[in-house]
Amino acid sequence: MTAYRARLTEIDIRRLIKATDADERAAAAHKLCRSMDKADLHDEDREAAQKILRMLAQDAAELVRRAMAVTLKSSDLIPNDVARKLAADVDSVALPMINFSPAFSDEDLIEIVQAGSPLRQVAVAGRPGVGRDVATVLAEVGCEQAVRTLASNDNADVAEAALGRCIDRFGTSPEIVAAIAYRQVLPLSVTERLVELASEAVREHLVTRHAVAPETAIRLAAFARERATVDLVDQASNHADLPQFVANLNARRVLTASLLLRALARGQMTLFEHGVAELAGTPHARAWLMIHDAGPLGLKAIYDRAGLPPRLFQAYRAGVDTWRTLQAEGADTSGDSFRQQMLERFLTQRPNAPREDLAYLMERLDHDPAPIKAQISAAA
């Protein structure tokens, strides 16, 4: 293998030296770089390879330098001095290196960002991994596209303060607000700010996937009452302290019969239990017993004590019975697929529920609910 590598290197170096045509030298450079990157190089071989790379980095032909940059953009073979030299080259050579090369230190990347080239800032922001210090500088001085790319990069370690700075600078940009909102992890303070800035679709994602204070979710009702109800039902599953969440809803008079029916029909049994317990002024354990383990009259007794409308009792009865049936069939009551099953099974029973609640529930179906809609329309 060593002899073969030596022959290949000698042949291609000769081509690089003797060829006057840039295309031929670029082809030789590509072949040589690919061979070196795949080879199992010992320290001496590695040092020799890096000398060749330093020579290639000084080739007068842009095509040759680009061939090296593209071929070795993700390789650990390129030394830091060569990487820095290529990063200062024309964009066609620099961008692949800046975007991928592991040869750069955080200090190198910060220097590139601070130099101010938008294309190079975007390349840094989209790297397979972005350190916290680099992300902070991007948030502070990066162009709009670079900040958007950073926010979309879940492999970027972006501090809470840096996310806040992104919102300070570009909070009027729907694209950047959405990019931040769809990050896998968001601090509560950032979520709270985004709720005020986001579109309706992004806002729903925020309150469904990230924890927000109950007061924030309730505040949405001031300008989107129906959508706020969706938010409150979904948001409940994000809160570890569900009794406190429900108590806050009740204190603000939004723990309504409609909200509890919608929650039950979507399989949110725990929210329903705590909601009934709160309205009935009884401990959750007792409410649970009345709902699940007190015979056919238990649900009616706790329902009446909670002051829920008598005309809706049969709809609630259908919801509880549907939940029990699915649980007995072995369904995982905590998964998203269960919500779909629960909705479909509940709606096909033609529950005697208000039309606006039925419309809401059908809207929440993930798949084509045409057969169910037809049944509901016929029953209405």
- The structure tokens listed for 204 are 């729903």
- At 235 the pLDDT is 66
Q: pLDDT by residue (tens digit) across 213-243?
A: 666 655 554 444 444 443 566 666 666 678 8
Rounded CA Rg of the chain: 31
Give the integer Cα–Cα distance in Å for 157 and 136: 9
- At 127 the pLDDT is 97
- Smallest CA-to-CA distance from 205 within 187, 227, 224, 221 is with 227
Task: Give the phi and the psi of residue 209 in degrees, each rounded to 5.
Answer: -100, -20
Residues of the chain with confidence (pLDDT) below 70 = 1-20, 207, 211-240, 294, 350-351, 357, 359-360, 362-380
CB 366 within 8 A of CB 340: yes
- At 379 the pLDDT is 40
- At 76 the pLDDT is 94
Give the integer Cα–Cα distance in Å for 14 and 35: 15
CB 264 within 8 A of CB 316: yes
- At 213 the pLDDT is 64
Q: pLDDT by residue (tens digit) across 296-322?
A: 788 999 999 999 988 888 888 888 988
- At 229 the pLDDT is 44
Structure pTM?
0.57
CB 64 within 8 A of CB 26: yes
